[in-house]
Structure 1
Amino acid sequence: MADPTPVIDDLRAESEELDRLVAGLTPERWALATPAPGWTVAHQIAHLAWTDHAALAAVTDADAFRALVGKALAHGDSFVDEGAKESAGLPPAELLARWRSGRDALDRALRAVEPGARFPWFGPPMAVASMATARLMETWAHGLDVADALGIDPAPTDRLAHIARLGVRTRDFAYTVHGLTPPAEEFRVRLTAPSGAVWEYGPDDAPQHVTGPALDFCLLVTQRAHRDDLALTATGPDADRWLDIAQAFAGPPGSGRKPRTAEETAGPVEGSGR
C-alpha cells in the first residue's frame, strides 16, 4: 500500500502557492472575472473551500456527507454553482480564512486516517491518496483560472505527476461518461515533466500511445485548454479519440474549451470551466 504522505504534502504546497496569489488582493481584484462563466476569483476560492469541506465530511462524518449527496441530487447541475455562490460574497478576508481553516482541517484528517480506509465521494469511493490527488487536481486547475484572471502565467512543477497519473487512470471513466465503451487494451502514455524527467504509464508494447509535455496532458484532462492548443500526439484511433474526451474530474462531461484565437496565443494558456 503506497504511503499517501507525498501527495498530501504536495496538496499542501499547491494550496499555499495559490494562497500567495490571492492573499494580498484588493476587493476589486477578488471580483475579477475568471474563464469559468459567471465565476470571479472569489467564486474560485469559495468553490475550493466548499469542496474541501465536502472532502472533510467524507473523511470524518459519513452522515454529513450523505446529506451533501442528497442536496446535490436535489439541485442537479446547479449544485456546483450554488456551492461556490454560498461563500463568494463574503468579505475577502473572511473567505480566505474559511478556505485556510477548511484545507488545514482536511490536511490533518487525511494524515490521521488508518491505512486502507476508503471514503464515499460523488463518484466511486476514494482511498486517502486518491482523495488528496483529487483535491490537488482541483486546486491546481482552479488556481490556473485565478492566475488567468490576474494575468499571471504560473510556472509548472513536478507536482503535476499526481494529476498526470490520475488522468491516465480515469481514461475508462472518460469514455463511459460520454456513453462510449472503453477500449479493451491499455495505452502507452509517455510524458515529459517540467523538470525534464520522463513519466511513463501502460505497457511498453502497447500499439496505441500518447506522448507530449506533462503540463499539456494535465491541461487536457482538467479541460483547461483545447486539444488543438496542446503539443500532444496520439497514435491509434482509440488514443486519438481519448484526447477529445479526456477528463479527470468526476461528474458529467465537461464542456471543455474552444481553441485559442491568434490574439490569445500570445498570452498565457487560458484556464477552463469548472
Structure 2
Amino acid sequence: MNETEYWDLIHTERARLADLLSTLEPEQWALATLCADWTVEQVVAHLGVAANTGRWAWIRSIVRAGFDPAKHNARLLERSLGGSPEETLAKFHSSISLTIAPTKDFPAFLGEVIVHGQDIARPLELDLIPDAEATVEVARYFASKDFAVNSKTLVKGVRLSAVDADFESGSGPQVAGRLLDLVMAMAGRPEALADLTGSGVAELRRRMD
C-alpha cells in the first residue's frame, strides 16, 4: 500500500469518527473513555493536535517535555482543546483532510484513529466499525512493530487468529476473535480481552496488569 492509499484510509476513519461525534449529547463529551484518564473531548483533542503535528514540531515538543511522553501529550493536548465540545469538534473537523505526520509510519497513524475511535465508542455503547482493509493493515503493523504502543512486545509468544478476516500472526498459545478486538488488545486495552478466546488470553491479561 502506498502513501496516498494510507492517507485515504486515515481521512476516511477521521471522517467516520467525526460523524459519530456529531451525534453526541453535550454531557457525553465529559464521559470517560478506554484511554487512561482522558474524557471523550480530550481524546478528540488529542487526535486533532496529532493530525497537525509534523516531524519538527513533534521533536521540539518531546525535547521540551524531557522525553516524557505523558508530558509531551499533555502539552499538545492543551493546544487543541476548545472552549467547548463544539469548538473541539470543529478543530478536529478541520484536521480530517490533513496529511501531516512526524514519521512515515502511516499504519501507526491509521491505528491511532481506529483505536481512539473505539476508545470513545465502546464505553458509550455506540457502533463505530472501521474499514476492513484499514483494520487488517493496522493489525499487521501492530503485530510486527512497537511504535507508540508496545504491541509487538505485548503479543510475543502468542498466536493471534482473526475469525472474521484473513489475519494470523505469531506462534504459541492462541488468542482468537474479531480482528478489531485483536487490534484493541494489541493496543493494550484489557477491555478487549473479554471478547477474545483461547489459552493465550490469560497471558495477555497478565502482561497488561
| TM category, shorter | 0.7 to 0.9
**1:67 and 2:80 are equivalent in the alignment:** no
Quickly say closer, same or farther: Cα 1:3–1:146, change in 2 above 3 A. Answer: same
**1:191 and 2:156 are equivalent in the alignment:** no
The Cα of 1:209 is off from its aligned counterpart by 6.0
Quickly say closer, same or farther: Cα 1:37–1:134, change in 2 above 3 A. Answer: closer
The Cα of 1:35 is off from its aligned counterpart by 3.5
Q: Would you say the 8 A contact 1:188–1:210 is kept in 2?
A: yes
**1:140 and 2:114 are equivalent in the alignment:** yes
Q: Would you say the 8 A contact 2:117–2:128 is kept in 1?
A: no
Quickly say closer, same or farther: Cα 1:27–1:240, change in 2 above 3 A. Answer: closer
Residue 208 of structure 1 corresponds to which residue in structure 2?
A: 172
Unaligned runs of 5+ in 2: none
CA distance in 2, matches of 1:6, 1:169: 20
**1:80 and 2:79 are equivalent in the alignment:** no
Unaligned runs of 5+ in 1: 111-120, 246-255, 259-274
Q: Would you say the 8 A contact 1:175–1:242 is kept in 2?
A: no
CA distance in 2, matches of 1:73, 1:176: 25
Identity across the alignment (%)? 23
Paired residues for 1:108-187 under 5 Å: 121=102, 126-127=103-104, 130-131=105-106, 133-155=107-129, 157-158=131-132, 159-170=134-145, 174=150
CA distance in 2, matches of 1:41, 1:215: 20
Q: Would you say the 8 A contact 2:30–2:39 is kept in 1?
A: yes
- TM-score, normalising length: structure 1: 0.60
Task: Specify the code of the residue in structure 2 equivalent to 1:191.
Answer: A
Residue 198 of structure 2 corresponds to which residue in structure 1?
A: 233
CA distance in 2, matches of 1:225, 1:156: 20
Q: Secondary structure at the match of 1:190?
A: strand
Residue 6 of structure 1 corresponds to which residue in structure 2?
A: 5
Residue 253 of structure 1 corresponds to which residue in structure 2?
A: none
CA distance in 1, matches of 2:151, 2:2: 30
1:101 to 79, 94, 98: 94
Quickly say closer, same or farther: Cα 1:83–1:228, change in 2 above 3 A. Answer: same
CA distance in 2, matches of 1:149, 1:201: 28
